[in-house]
Amino acid sequence: MSDRIFGVIGLLIAIGFAWAALIIEESFLSDSVGPKAFPLIIAAVLGISSLVIALKPDAEPAWPPLMRLAEIGAAVVVLMLYATVLPSFGFVFATALAGAYLTWRLGTAPLQSVLVGVLTSVGIYVVFHMVLGLSLAKGPFGF
């Protein structure tokens, strides 16, 4: 029964996310893709996944232990902080911090986590901003 509840909650979140994406106003200076495309793709993937979970639940779902749930909660808090500080810290710095923390929690050594966070943020910046020309949040250093 917990899988069905989880699936229905995910479906409701997907519907809310899609609704929020559809009310985004487009300006005449927007990117070629537009501001609605990516949120709608995320909403569709979340909605389809949630439907599968709700319609085909496990007979005996195994939930993680309390400490693992606390780690998942900490990751959610880090991602919420990431979204909060992104406009002021900028894409590269905020993504490097979030990426370093998340890879460290996945078991990477601290120095390697910092390296992965920095390389990931710079790589994404190069692909999305310099190659594709999409606008990303600028920080105090201009990137």
Q: What is the pLDDT of residues 78-103, one digit of tens each?
A: 999 999 999 999 999 999 999 999 99
Q: How far apart are CA 33 and CA 37, in angstroms?
A: 7
Place of tokens 């029964």: 1
Confidence band of 140 (pLDDT split at 50, 70, 90)? confident
Confidence band of 1 (pLDDT split at 50, 70, 90)? confident
Q: How far apart are CA 3 and CA 16, in angstroms?
A: 20
Q: Is the pLDDT of residue 29 over 80?
A: no
Confidence band of 48 (pLDDT split at 50, 70, 90)? very high
Q: Is the pLDDT of residue 120 over 70?
A: yes
